[in-house]
Amino acid sequence: MILMYVAGAPCQPCRLTRENMSMSQRRPSVLFLFADQLRGRDLGCMGSPVVRTPWVDRLADEGVVASRAYANSPVCTPNRGTLLTGLFPHGHGAIANDMPMYADVPSIGRTLRDAGYRTGYVGKWHLDGVPRSRFTPPGERRHGFQYWAAYNCAHDYFNPTYYRDDPVPIVADGYEPVVQTGLAVEFLRSLADDDSFALFLSWGPPHDPYDQVPEEYRRRYDPERVSLPPNLLSADGNPLARDLEPRETLRSYYAAISALDDQVGRLLRELDRLDRERDTIVVFTSDHGDMLWAHGWMKKQLPYEEAIHVPLILRCRELLPAGRTYDAPCSTADLVPTLLDLAGLEPGDVHGRSLLPGLSDGERGDDAVLIMNQCRFDEALLQGVPEWRGLRSRRWTYAETVERTPWLLFDNDADPWQQANLIHSPDHADVRGTLAAELRARLHQVGDPFTDTLGMVEHTGTGEAWRVRELDMVSRFGELLDVSE
């Protein structure tokens, strides 16, 4: 999103191009803020009657809310790779958690750095393979990011740890999002007045462990007043949820979101103080959602709304209208081409598309986006989730498993909690056929072979990275999760 805090009537939005770039002394900067495992509906501006997010809500009031934004691959590493490249996992190589992206894959960090931006990355990375404590040195494995205060992957929020430019980890005191936001502020204060910058800040919460949140935020939510959604089912026997109680867990999850909201406000105030708000694009989103017992599932890697629907807010007084809702389906893959379009730069060959015409001029946009789980691993294996591909359109959610086996069909207008699977309904045969044909065409267009996990490993040439990942799983959990059965 793009952020501006200037009093008075907003300017008419304009499309920034190379032709009018001389009107400004510098290209628009980017402040990209994203949470981990934050569902799209769990913000005040997205209709939540419970979660308190005044700073994010203010962004929504002054910017554009993409109400149908979806994670193409609702799991950490694959979708984070898509977020930085505009490519689906088979295009950037990180097809499973704890696998690295191709070292030379085009990325937004590289493109903006090469265009003269000062680039920075703070927080959770999760794109450099294993071990999760691995140091990512300066160079190609940082994919264009110069300022670095990041850690590959950890969810230990009261023991914040990060690397700078040497392999000695820095351990800080306090709550991790507060520490990371402080590092982001450090970066902003280091800029010269004429610097265009691109800073990506990746917070770990509200990803579990759910109870790792300061008590001051937990006190804001009474568990007795936390309502449970109608599609929540018992998780008895689920090894991922046996020690969790839904109301207490949701209370802590909501508390973590409010904690992040305070950090959003801290950054917005800093941009104001530095007088960088007029030309800074601020984006707020998440890498994916969280099932939290919906339909009896936990975590992600599923085509349900709780896993794929993410928040997406963009604000810029000079380039985008305020208070608009963009209701066409869009996805993580669209972020790179949209931001580069706003900066007057070409995205190259990507799987996403620029949303700028729809965001600024109200064009209708796409009718559906691709969603997928290209590999079975980790929680998907433990919960019996297959490989799948699907579409999320304005109305329908459709998914198939390997060998083009129809799996799920939901009418989200009539059934917003997705409680009636219509995949075998005779009355919906035509809808099913139309969506199946559209899915086939889109998979062909992006070169996705829709094979099983080991076939995808072979297709992407990532056999060694997969082997190393699996050996690391043995070292961490004492057994190899076998996808060949």
Closest CA to 270 of 212, 342, 191: 191
CA 184 vs CA 99, 115, 157, 331: distances in Å? 26, 21, 17, 26
Separation CA 247–CA 161 (nearest Å): 30
Q: Is 409 helix (H, G, I), strand (E, B) or coil?
A: strand
Closest CA to 39 of 288, 377, 273: 288
* Mean pLDDT, residues 345-349: 93
CA 377 vs CA 76, 126, 238, 452: distances in Å? 12, 15, 16, 12
Q: Is 30 helix (H, G, I), strand (E, B) or coil?
A: strand
Q: Are 41 and 304 contacting, i.e. CB atoms less than 8 angstroms apart?
A: no
Q: Which of 76, 153, 330, 375 is catalytic?
A: 76
* Mean pLDDT, residues 194-211: 97
Burial class (CB in 10 A: 0-12, 13-18, 19+), 155: middle
Q: Where are the beta strands (DSSP E) in 46-117?
A: 64-66, 69-70
| 7 band by pLDDT with thresholds 50, 70 and 90 | very low
Q: Tell me the fold of 26-366.
A: Alkaline Phosphatase, subunit A (3.40.720)
| 210 band by pLDDT with thresholds 50, 70 and 90 | very high
Q: Are 402 and 456 contacting, i.e. CB atoms less than 8 angstroms apart?
A: no
| 130 band by pLDDT with thresholds 50, 70 and 90 | very high
Place of tokens 């590959």: 152
Q: What is the pLDDT of residue 5?
A: 25
Q: Which of 22-26, 58-62, 91-95, 117-121 has the lowest mean pLDDT?
A: 22-26
Cβ count within 10 A of residue 418:
19
Closest CA to 281 of 479, 63, 94, 2: 2
349-399 per-position pLDDT tens digit: 999 999 999 998 777 788 999 999 999 998 898 899 999 999 999 999 999
Classify each residue of 366-375 as buried b or exposed e, where b means 16 or more C-beta atoms within 10 Å of its C-beta.
bebbbbbbbb
Q: Which of 45, 90, 92, 126 is catalytic?
A: 126
Separation CA 126–CA 170 (nearest Å): 17
CA 109 and chain centroid, separation: 16
153 classed as catalytic: no
* Mean pLDDT, residues 392-421: 97
Task: Give the number of C-alpha atoms closer than 13 A to the C-alpha of residue 154, restricted to the C-beta side.
Answer: 20
* Percentage of the residues of the chain whose pLDDT score is greater than 90: 83
Q: Are 387 and 381 contacting, i.e. CB atoms less than 8 angstroms apart?
A: no
Q: Domain limits of the chain?
A: 26-366, 371-477
Closest CA to 381 of 469, 306, 250: 469
CA 352 vs CA 86, 88, 199, 321, 398: distances in Å? 6, 9, 21, 22, 20
pLDDT greater at residue 135 or residue 484: 135
Q: What is the pLDDT of residue 69?
A: 98
Q: What is the pLDDT of residue 464?
A: 97
pLDDT greater at residue 432 or residue 244: 432
Q: What is the pLDDT of residue 482?
A: 58
224-241 per-position pLDDT tens digit: 899 899 999 865 545 455
Can the peptide bond before residue 206 be classed as cis, meaning omega within 30 degrees of 0?
Answer: yes
Q: Which of 207-216, 321-330, 414-423, 472-481 has the lowest mean pLDDT?
A: 472-481
Where is 217: in which H helix or E strand? helix 215-218
CA 188 vs CA 27, 179, 266: distances in Å? 16, 14, 12
Task: State the pTM of this model.
Answer: 0.92
Q: What is the pLDDT of residue 184?
A: 98
* Mean pLDDT, residues 420-449: 98
Separation CA 420–CA 410 (nearest Å): 7
Task: Give the number of C-alpha atoms closer than 13 A to the C-alpha of residue 419, restricted to the C-beta side.
Answer: 9
Hey, which CATH number is domain 371-477, 3.30.1120.10, 3.55.50.30, 1.10.357.10, 3.40.50.800?
A: 3.30.1120.10
Residue type, 332: T
* Percentage of the residues of the chain whose pLDDT score is greater than 70: 91
Residue 118 has pLDDT above 70, yes or no: yes
Separation CA 363–CA 16 (nearest Å): 17
Residue 29 has pLDDT above 60, yes or no: yes
| 120 band by pLDDT with thresholds 50, 70 and 90 | very high
126 classed as catalytic: yes
52-83 per-position pLDDT tens digit: 999 999 999 999 999 999 999 999 999 999 99
| 278 band by pLDDT with thresholds 50, 70 and 90 | confident
Separation CA 101–CA 123 (nearest Å): 17
Which residues are CB-neighbours of 467 under 8 A, at least 6 positions away?
none
